[in-house]
Amino acid sequence: MKHTTNTRIVFADSAGEARKKYLELGIKTKDPNAVLECYKAIDEEDFDLSSDFNFVGEISVSPEVMETIRQDPERAYVLYYLEDTDGH
């Protein structure tokens, strides 16, 4: 079963730059076929910058994460791996 792992907020001017910055963190995955997901937070449907919780991609972001996003919402990307953590 696929699960989200290693979620980070990255500030960048494009999705490509956000992916590059994330990959530079050197985060290791258990699944060699893990897929890196990247979402510009404010572009997500039903995203509410004033809310404490929001869905971004397949995850729910907490009040602490929302505080980070609010620091620069125009440049905030939510990135995480979607990987098979069960080893199947």
Residues near 27 by Cβ (< 8 Å), separated by ≥ 6? 6, 8, 81
Residues near 16 by Cβ (< 8 Å), separated by ≥ 6? none
Q: pLDDT tens for residues 69-82?
A: 999 999 999 999 99
Region for residue 30 given its phi and psi (left: phi exceeds 0; alpha: psi -120 to 50; beta: otherwise)? alpha
Q: pLDDT tens for residues 7-60?
A: 999 999 999 999 999 999 999 999 999 999 999 999 999 999 999 999 999 999
Q: Which long-range contacts (CB under 8 A, 24 or more apart) does 59-63 make?
A: 59/4, 59/7
pTM: 0.91
CA distance 15 to 50: 23
Tell me the residue length of the chain: 88
